[in-house]
Structure 1
Amino acid sequence: MRRTTTLTIGMLVAAVLLTGCGSEKKDAGPAKAGGSPSASSSGGSKGSAPDKKGLPHQVVFEVGGTGAAQVMWSGNTNHFEQVTLPWTKTEPMQLVDAELKVGITVSVVPGSVKGPDGMFMPAPCTIKVDGKQVADNQDGKSAEPCTYKLKD
């Protein structure tokens, strides 16, 4: 049990370090109706380039199981929370500027839950983008977190 706890903590620390370089968008509001993915924003200071925005997306993070668990997830920003399982978080996302070329990694690192044999295992996790499942940890059989590179 100590090894599982140490492994889980190590995975959470690694995930925080890996996702710590993500961007934090100040305003990635919804796209305007009829606008194109490269529509520019109005206003701004003289000489500054307008922000380029991609298509709006709905990203759904899910962690299964029962009871409570620590969950780390990153979308527009990074979060680390104690949650009640099953847990779902929906976040609207829209890539801007350089993210349009390189994308942005979204992830969820589930905490541990008791498996059918009484041993702790990673809780099952999934990520869905615009209704399509794009990542999972094989119902908790994989110790890897759920991650996906969101690109337009």
Structure 2
Amino acid sequence: MRKTVTLTISVLAAVALVTGCGGEKKDAGPVKASEVSPSSPASGGAKGSAEGKKGVPHQVVFEVGGTGTAQMMWKGNSNHFEQVTLPWTKTETMQLEDAELEVGVIVSVVPGSVKGPDGMLKPAPCTIKVDGKQVADNQNGKSPEPCEYKLKD
């Protein structure tokens, strides 16, 4: 009996949370063009903003050396965390947009550990190249820091 009551209360609580358990918000209906101000987001933003602007496409190449497999985290167009077979290379085309044109975007790769010549674990060597130019490395795995670069137009 106790399990049934607990289950029923749990189900009711979940339904209340999903449905909002409050007053209904009425739809105000369609928005008329005359009701939208020039600086509102629905009309494309304030005059002079960078909204809708795009930069030039960049080819970003992430590389991690070594042999075997390793857990790795990398960020290009989105964040990734995966187990990969080494050596590993990933190429992405990235195009900065809007506010990214002013502040830039961090691209990075955090390599997993690999066995060094002495049998000890060390960070796998990593590099990042942008448009064919090497912009970041971890000194062939000697640095514990990830490979990271701020991409700007």
Same fold (TM over 0.5): yes
Count of residue pairs the alignment pairs up:
108
Structure 1 residue 74: Cα displacement: 0.2
Report the more deviating stretch, 45-54 or 101-110.
45-54
Match of 1:59 in 2: 60
In structure 2, the residue matched to 1:14 is none
Q: C-alpha offsets along residues 30-87 of structure 1, whole Å, 9 cap, x if unaligned?
A: xxxxxxxxxxxxxxx9621451000100000000000000110001100001000000
How far, CA to CA, are the matches of 2:125 and 2:42 in structure 1? 50
| 1:113-140 deviation per Cα after TM superposition (whole angstroms, max 9, x unaligned) | 0000000000000000000000000000
Which residue of the other structure, out of 27, 48, 55, is the alignment partner of 2:44? 48
Deviations 1:1-42 (A, max 9, x none): xxxxxxxxxxxxxxxxxxxxxxxxxxxxxxxxxxxxxxxxxx
1:113 counterpart SS class: strand
Q: Which AA in structure 2 matches 1:47?
A: S
Name the amino acid aligned to 1:106: V
Q: Which moved more, 1:107-116 or 1:48-57?
A: 48-57
Q: Which has the larger radius of gyration?
A: 2
Any gaps of 5 or more consecutive residues in structure 2? 1-40, 46-50
* Greater helix fraction, Structure 1 or Structure 2: 2
Q: Which residue of 2 aligns with 1:140?
A: 141
TM value normalised by structure 1: 0.69
**Percent of aligned pairs with the same residue?**
80
The residue aligned with 1:36 is none
**Any stretches of 5+ residues in structure 1 without a counterpart?**
1-44
- Tell me, what secondary structure is at the counterpart of 2:139? coil
TM-score (norm 2): 0.69
